[in-house]
């Protein structure tokens, strides 16, 4: 029988759930789809069929640690700057929503006569926080220890669906332009052009670059039929030809500043200069600024562009290099091989996972997550397998490298690891909750709790999105990420990221996640306090 086969083969069950969930997530209805979050619902369906169809805990724990750690690595470089700029406001919004939800749960508990364990489990379910549930269960014993899990299993899927539905509905209602939001935040890919201009007005390279800092640079200069790499203090004379690299508007403006546009590109078979894209695989250069490379002095070369992932960045002296960057270099033909060796230029090395640094980083994160911090009146909390690796990823990602250890992962490695981690987490947590969900949903009280959880989460999600996007004027991507972060819910983050197709949701998620995690663990145990006092 198929069920018996799946029950005896956890690995087969994992891939059946992953494949089925992924295919389900691709189904679009009125333009809406669950994406990779469909794996969660496939897991719930499998667990509901038979209690034996439950993946081992190590599956979801490994997936969760991988997912949040790789998010931390990718968002780490921009995390602290974002926290200084707007992080306090984002965290205030998240914490306000969490406190409001806790008060709403207390009100529901009074109306429905829910005891302390059910109240705590319901709270952790509507905010989908497994570590908070674990902290609550840890303080209970006997039959009471099962009650939070029952309430959690009902509220958890209702919360995930409600949050994703509200994101999908409101972004369509408001006609959100995610590409425009990313562009305004400086995260969108703006096309870079290379144009040739004839100098009419005497000036220096520095004058042009400073006038359009961050938007246009001069790469090459042809003077008296001789090509050379542009140097900052180089004087441009009337009749010289220059290549200008930058955004379309900046290139047009810089061309007018220099003189006039020239139709023919500054290319010739006899030119002494060559242009090439080079992979950065040399770990010693990671975290260095372009100006620290001293390419002009070493090789007579200049960096004009840096392609990171799918985005072209205009290079400047302050551009910080990351592992896997594809660097566009202009250099003398005779020195290009030397420049290539300097950067590494090994695609094979980029495709390999640095197992040592990955494992050490995860070990640090799991150890941080295991630290137990006592609470007043008894009890304790810890960041767990989610908060610890995320915090470690943020710190190590911001550092980029420590001595010989390179913490960063190339985008071509980070993305697959993140996707696999998310699939493992969703499949594991789905199969775990499936049976309890099916068992309790068949009762009248179960349906009532499910309906209440769904309604509360719809209101909470709508409130956060309205306050964040409309009142605080935050980008919709950031607001959706904050909603996912205050729920500490990777499935909602995955959905928001697929909708936005830019890094804004991940930035919002990573910014509020640590504070949200700690606050929910504390609140869940506070909700248990009255019950424990009565029990003693």
Please spell the DSSP secondary structure of 497-512, one letter per residue: HHHH-SSHHHHHHHHH
Rounded-to-integer distance, Cα 511 and Cα 504, Å: 11
CATH H-level, domain 193-350: superfamily: Regulator of K+ conductance, C-terminal domain (3.30.70.1450)
Q: In this predicted structure, what is the pLDDT of residue 8?
A: 87
Divide the 536 residues of the chain into consecutive groups of 10 and give the mean pLDDT of each group.
85 92 80 71 86 87 86 76 72 92 90 82 82 61 60 80 91 88 66 85 85 82 85 87 86 87 65 86 86 88 84 83 87 90 81 82 91 68 75 87 84 84 84 76 76 92 94 92 87 85 84 78 72 50
Evaluated on CA atoms 247, 250, 251, 252, the torsion sign reads: positive
pLDDT (0 to 100) of residue 211: 84
pTM: 0.69
> Between vectors from CA 145 to CA 141 and to CA 151, what angle results, nearest 5°?
165
Residue 519's pLDDT is 80
Distance from C-alpha of 97 to C-alpha of 190, rounded to nearest angstrom: 35
Report how far residue 200's alpha carbon sits from residue 259's, in angstroms, rounded to the nearest whole number.
Answer: 4
What's the pLDDT score for residue 378?
60
Q: What is the DSSP letter of 139?
A: T
Predicted pLDDT at 248: 85
SS3 229: strand
- Tokens coding 486: 């205050």
Residue 60 is encoded by which pair of tokens?
């979801």
Residue ranges of domains in the chain:
2-184+354-535, 193-350
User: What residues does 261 pair with on adjacent strands?
Assistant: 197
Structure tokens at 35: 């994406």
Of 167, 237, 158, 253, nearest in space to 205 by CA = 237
How far apart are alpha carbons 326 and 306 in whole angstroms? Answer: 6
Joined together, the tokens standing for residue 455 give: 């309604």
With beta carbons less than 8 A apart as the criterion, state whether 350 and 324 touch.
yes
Give φ, ψ of 196 to 5 degrees.
Answer: -110, 135
- Given a contact cutoff of 8 angstroms between Cβ atoms, the answer to whether 426 and 21 are in contact is yes
First to last CA, the chain: 49
**Distance (Å, rounded) from C-alpha 430 to C-alpha 11?**
15
Encode 248-317 in three state secondary structure. Answer: HHHHHHHHHHHEEEECCCCCCCCCCEEEEEEEECCHHHCCCEHHHHCHHHHHCCEEEEEEECCEEEECCC
Task: State how far the Cα of 120 lies from the Cα of 184, in Å rounded to an integer.
Answer: 41
Integer Cα distance of 471 and 461 in angstroms: 15
């Amino acid at each position: 029988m198929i069920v018996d086969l799946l029950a005896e083969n956890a690995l087969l069950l994992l891939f059946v759930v992953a494949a089925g969930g992924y295919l389900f997530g691709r189904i679009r209805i009125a333009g809406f789809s669950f994406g990779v979050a469909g794996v969660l619902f496939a897991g719930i369906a499998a667990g509901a069929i038979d209690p034996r169809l439950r993946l081992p805990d190590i599956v979801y724990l490994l997936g969760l640690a991988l997912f949040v750690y790789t998010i931390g690595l990718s968002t780490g470089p921009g995390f602290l700057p974002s926290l200084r700029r707007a992080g306090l406001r984002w965290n205030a919004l998240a914490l306000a929503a969490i406190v409001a939800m806790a008060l709403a749960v207390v009100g529901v508990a009074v109306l429905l006569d829910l005891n302390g364990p059910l109240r705590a489990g319901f709270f952790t379910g509507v905010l989908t926080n497994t570590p908070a549930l674990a902290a609550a269960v840890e303080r209970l014993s006997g039959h009471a220890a099962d009650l939070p899990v029952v309430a959690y299993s009902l509220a958890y899927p209702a919360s995930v669906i409600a949050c994703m539905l509200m994101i999908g509905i409101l972004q369509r209602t408001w006609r959100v332009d995610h590409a425009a939001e990313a562009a305004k935040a400086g995260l969108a890919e703006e096309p870079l052009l290379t144009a040739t201009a004839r100098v009419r007005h005497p000036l220096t390279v520095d004058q042009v670059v400073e006038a359009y800092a961050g938007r246009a640079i001069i790469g090459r200069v042809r003077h008296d039929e001789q090509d050379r790499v542009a140097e900052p203090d180089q004087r441009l004379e009337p009749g010289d030809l220059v290549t200008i690299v930058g955004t379309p508007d900046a290139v047009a403006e810089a061309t007018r500043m220099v003189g006039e546009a020239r139709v023919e590109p500054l290319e010739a078979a006899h030119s002494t200069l060559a242009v090439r894209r080079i992979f950065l695989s040399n770990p010693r250069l990671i975290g260095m600024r372009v100006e620290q490379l001293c390419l002009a002095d070493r090789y007579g070369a200049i960096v004009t562009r840096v392609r990171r992932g799918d985005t072209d960045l205009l290079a400047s002296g302050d551009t910080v290099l990351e592992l896997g960057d594809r660097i566009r270099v202009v250099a003398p033909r005779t020195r290009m091989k030397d420049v290539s060796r300097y950067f590494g230029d090994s695609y094979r090395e980029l495709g390999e996972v640095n197992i040592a640094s990955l494992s050490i980083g995860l070990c640090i994160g799991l150890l941080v997550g295991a630290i137990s911090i006592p609470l007043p009146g008894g009890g304790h909390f810890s960041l767990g397998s989610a908060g610890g690796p995320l915090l470690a990823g943020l710190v190590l990602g911001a550092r980029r490298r420590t001595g010989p250890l390179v913490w960063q992962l190339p985008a071509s490695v980070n993305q697959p690891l993140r996707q696999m981690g998310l699939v493992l987490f969703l499949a594991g947590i789905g199969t775990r909750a499936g049976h309890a969900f099916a068992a309790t949903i068949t009762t009248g009280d179960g349906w009532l709790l499910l309906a209440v959880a769904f309604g509360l989460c719809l209101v909470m999600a709508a409130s956060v999105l309205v306050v964040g996007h409309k009142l605080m004027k935050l980008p919709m991507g950031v607001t959706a990420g904050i909603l996912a972060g205050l729920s500490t819910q990777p499935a909602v983050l995955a959905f928001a990221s697929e909708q936005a197709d830019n890094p804004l949701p991940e930035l919002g998620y990573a910014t509020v996640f640590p504070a949200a995690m700690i606050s929910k663990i504390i609140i869940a145990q506070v909700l248990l306090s009255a019950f424990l006092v009565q029990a003693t």
